[in-house]
Amino acid sequence: MYLPRRLIAHLYLQLLRSHRPLSSPVLILAALEPDALCACRILTTLLKRDYIPHKIQPVAGYGDLARVGEELIKPMRTTQGGAGGVVICLGVGGLVDLTEILCLVSDNEEADDLGGIEVWVIDARRPWNLGNVFGGQAQSRDPLQEVAPNPRRKTRGVERGCITPAYASESGGVIVFDDGDIEDELVAEREAYHALEEMPEIDDDDDDNESLGSATESGGDDDDRRSDRGSHGKKRKSSSGRDDKEDNDEDDAPPRQRRRSDSGSSIPSSSSRRRRSGHDSSISSSPVAGTLPAIETRQLSARSLRRRLLRMKRKYEKILHAYYSMGIAYSEPISSMLFSLASELGREDNNLLWLAIVGVSSMELSGRTMSGVGISSFSESGGSAGWGGVRGERIRQILRDEVHRLNPPDPSGNTRELSGEANGIIPTTARSPTDTSIRISPEPRFLLVRHWSLYDSMLHSPYLACRLHVWSEHGRKRLHKLLAKMGISLSQCRQNYTHMDMELKRVLRQRLLKYAPMYGLDGLVPPVASGHSSNREGWGFVRSWGWKACLSATDVGVVIGAILEVGLSSPSSSLNANRPPRDSSNLETSSESHPSNLHPRFWNAYDALSPTGSQSATLLLEALPLAQRLHRAILRTGTSLLSKHQIRHLRAFRIAVVKDGPDVRLFINPGALTKLALWVAEAIQVQEREKGDASKIGGKRAIGTPLVLAGLDEDRGIYVVVGTGGGGGVVDFAALAKRQEESRSRKAVREKKKREREERQSKRVTERAERDELDEESDDTEEDSDSSSSSDSEPEEPQNISGNKNLVRNRFGLAFQEVVQETNARVRIDSFEHCVVEVQKEDLGGFLEALSLRSVVG
């Protein structure tokens, strides 16, 4: 089931009304990523204000999620003696079938009885598991009511998977929170899913068997049979309509089915337990008969109906398969979704707004775009990079408006200070000792500029470093020359930024706007803006904690990411010293990826986002050296790979391996390795563009550079492998209006073509009905003709989730799945990030060789 965006507060209000003092706590499953952490903080703040008990459980991967289902959720089920309850998944499980992995159903129990557990799924990853979106509901039925032979699930307040205001939590179920994509983008998938669920059970072999039995009567049967099997040669196991269980052959099943836990066992993503209790023997009396063309005073033959059903089934399965085969993408950050919930409840404040801003800002740092994990694909003018191009900028504009509303300017404030901010001076201090406001700031694309020297901040900025080639001596000289042109000496820029000369800080932005384009750095700072926040596209966000600290949202995202990816080197550090006793364990263990090692990192990062201002600022400042250490290692390792020419160019992507050096242990974490891969991929892309050597993949211009980066974990004898592709994010504000106009034009053309298809389809239906009076041979001929032209009447297949058909998607997750199935490589697929796998050290060569033959972008 899915909850439409307009009803985002419906379930929470029901939970608030139904909560009792003895009710079981709400269980929150949160992924170990900054966006999920921010969303978790927003949600727990709401629950605390309403006195709703809750428990937070960090989840490190699919194996960890399966253990949580077995140990925590299964005992909650009413069929296991529990009292039911609510489970909220934040950044967890959107791609897999949660009824199985969370143990909501058992083999010896009713498939529609979920034990009174209601699962809320809020996830930014796409594609959705359609079983969660359009199914996932427990069937409430009168025990005295006779079971229909071919039942259709009916839940009060649910219409074809969509929750309505009449819905009431009763028997439990899986509910996906829609950010708008489901209703806007998944119309064809919704129809296909429900059509397959309503179809009677029918296999391709049924048509073959009948054709063999009547071969002596009709000489054209063999040709018909070959035509049918050629269009779709796989046999359907069950017609229950589950999203990605459409074919029996594993090769043709969507890759979302095959997830491996850390023990190597398969974690299926679509429920194989939902079966019908029976079917009518007469196909003409099945529910699908109502979907066929109306035929007056005539009854189609059973064989003709069966053939049409097979064509319809193949058509709908093709739609679902195309949806799952597009690759991974990202939609609206879940922290933004939770802030929308708070706004709908009237609970928004500065603390929750700041958490949403940090969550949205963190998406870019980890390379999560509308095209999956990868580097930016939009034009680089504009100054602000974000997770979702035009849509991402629209959300950031909403956040800027909220900042303006909740933080009005103080009329009695310092006039000089206010005018300085309006002119683009980067704020570094609070306005007063009690100032905790959020401000809009013209943030340059430097790294931790307030907490580093200007030189180090520029040197470690991925955007600037890749375009100036700072890994070479010539690139360092270009950086020095840029600083000299701006009139900033090396001695000045090597000081801490807050200690620089005030006059230099005042003129820094104007000089960057003047000289940066000479070095190809057009997007280094946001465009000039003035007045209301609506005129400040591309500007960032800054918050003060009195005189204690002043941090930008990007700074906080960098620090939180470093805590999750690197961890604290010593349990005696002040971050751990301020923690409750529950998480005082040593973070350094032999297995870096073990949940017992990762969960304490979650709690350290969770505390650093505390709404208590002084505690949060202290913890963030304490972790700043950790973030600086990580980004020094990224620059050092990336420079080594490029200067020593250790990056090989294979058929479909480039490959590099990190297996020695002082920083190798830092990059056994997938998040840190991904950031290094993004840095290297962006450097290669810049080099290719300067040489005019942009590659083409699959006949399309490759936007971004597909790169596979492997990091050696010597202790476990494995390589952590991440695949990055072309992404999307940097907003070209100058071309924004033009793209919108082109989008409207394309939409008008699509609507015109759709009307023409509907007219042709209506004409074919009329002609088909007239031809039904002919004998069996002519009927066969008519059906074959209809099959050959069925592409005209099929619904338009989705090109991608975002609605932009020109995006190049990251398909490494699908390619990894295919290699695992076809080779003997020992591979562990456990990360929620499907472009990350772990490969046995001895098997890396064969794994990469097989991967080089796959399509990794699409």
Comparison of pLDDT for 771 and 349, the residue scoring more: 349
Q: Per-residue pLDDT tens for 34-60?
A: 999 999 999 999 999 999 999 999 999
Average pLDDT over residues 227-251: 39
Average pLDDT over residues 300-310: 82
d(CA 623, CA 617): 10
**3 state SS of 83:** coil
Least confident window among 35-49, 143-157, 457-471: 143-157
Least confident window among 81-90, 259-268, 466-475, 697-706: 259-268
d(CA 155, CA 137): 7
* pLDDT of 183 over the 70 cut: yes
* pLDDT of 315 over the 60 cut: yes
Could you please state the CATH topology (level 3) that the domain comprising 647-730+808-851 is classified under. Diaminopimelate Epimerase; Chain A, domain 1 (3.10.310)
Q: At what angle do helices 334-344 and 350-365 cross, to 10 degrees?
A: 160
pLDDT-above-90 percentage for the chain: 36
* pLDDT of 490 over the 50 cut: yes
Average pLDDT over residues 656-673: 91
Nearest to 839 by CA among 657, 653, 630: 657
Q: For residue 547, which amino acid is it?
A: W
Residue 320 neighbours by CB under 8 Å, 6+ apart: 130, 189, 192, 193, 196, 243, 244, 246, 254
Predicted local confidence at residue 726, as pLDDT: 57
* pLDDT of 529 over the 70 cut: no
Domain limits of the chain? 1-201+238-331, 647-730+808-851, 731-792
Relative to beta strand 54-59, strand 26-31 is parallel
375 close to 679: Cβ distance less than 8 angstroms: no
Relative to beta strand 540-544, strand 718-726 is unpaired
Q: Per-residue pLDDT tens for 567-596?
A: 876 443 444 444 444 333 333 334 555 666
pLDDT-above-70 percentage for the chain: 70
* pLDDT of 221 over the 60 cut: no
When the pLDDT of each residue in the chain is averaged and rounded to a whole number, the result is: 76
Question: Which band of pLDDT confidence, cut at 50, 70 and 90, is reported for residue 622?
Answer: very high
* pLDDT of 416 over the 60 cut: no
Q: For residue 80, which amino acid is it?
A: Q
Residue-by-residue DSSP string for 474-498: HHHHHHHHHHHHTT--HHHHTSBGG
Predicted local confidence at residue 104, as pLDDT: 87
* pLDDT of 297 over the 70 cut: no
571 close to 427: Cβ distance less than 8 angstroms: no
287 close to 279: Cβ distance less than 8 angstroms: no
DSSP 109: S
Average pLDDT over residues 228-246: 38
324 close to 256: Cβ distance less than 8 angstroms: yes
Comparison of pLDDT for 799 and 315, the residue scoring more: 315
Predicted local confidence at residue 156, as pLDDT: 80
Average pLDDT over residues 814-829: 88
C-alpha angle with apex 362: 732 to 458, nearest 5 degrees? 70
Nearest to 704 by CA among 721, 690, 720, 689: 689
Ranked by mean pLDDT, the top range of 9-23, 620-634, 724-738 is 620-634
Query: How many Cβ atoms sit within 10 Å of the Cβ of residue 765?
Result: 16
* pLDDT of 808 over the 80 cut: no
Predicted local confidence at residue 569, as pLDDT: 60
Alpha helices in 296-380 (DSSP H): 302-324, 334-344, 350-365
Predicted local confidence at residue 414, as pLDDT: 58
d(CA 721, CA 755): 47
Nearest to 308 by CA among 782, 758, 778, 773: 782
d(CA 284, CA 63): 45
Average pLDDT over residues 332-346: 95
Predicted local confidence at residue 854, as pLDDT: 80
Evaluate the omega torsion of the peptide bond into residue 127 and state whether it is cis, within 30 degrees of 0. yes
C-alpha angle with apex 220: 217 to 226, nearest 5 degrees? 125
Least confident window among 270-279, 474-483, 602-611, 624-633: 270-279
d(CA 166, CA 300): 40
Comparison of pLDDT for 508 and 590, the residue scoring more: 508
800 close to 809: Cβ distance less than 8 angstroms: yes
Say how far residue 812 (Cα) sits from the centre of its chain.
Answer: 14
Comparison of pLDDT for 327 and 34, the residue scoring more: 34
Q: Which residues of 176-198 are buried (b: 16+ CB within 10 A; e: fewer)?
A: bbbbebbeebbebbbebbbbbbb
Residue given tokens 């020095």 in the structure block? 480
d(CA 573, CA 557): 21
Nearest to 725 by CA among 351, 355, 272, 372: 372
Least confident window among 130-134, 281-285, 644-648: 281-285
The model scores a pTM over 0.75? yes
Predicted local confidence at residue 800, as pLDDT: 38
Predicted local confidence at residue 713, as pLDDT: 92
Predicted local confidence at residue 448, as pLDDT: 92
* pLDDT of 639 over the 80 cut: yes
Residue given tokens 């809750």 in the structure block? 54
Nearest to 379 by CA among 370, 389, 369: 389
Residue given tokens 């892309």 in the structure block? 685
Q: For residue 16, which amino acid is it?
A: L
286 close to 278: Cβ distance less than 8 angstroms: no
Predicted local confidence at residue 840, as pLDDT: 93
Average pLDDT over residues 332-355: 94
Residue 574 neighbours by CB under 8 Å, 6+ apart: 618, 619, 622
Average pLDDT over residues 762-775: 68
637 close to 675: Cβ distance less than 8 angstroms: no
d(CA 76, CA 69): 10
* pLDDT of 730 over the 90 cut: no
340 close to 8: Cβ distance less than 8 angstroms: yes
DSSP 619: H
Predicted local confidence at residue 247, as pLDDT: 42
Q: Please provide residue 711's backbone torsions phi and psi, each rounded to the nearest 5 degrees.
A: -115, 130
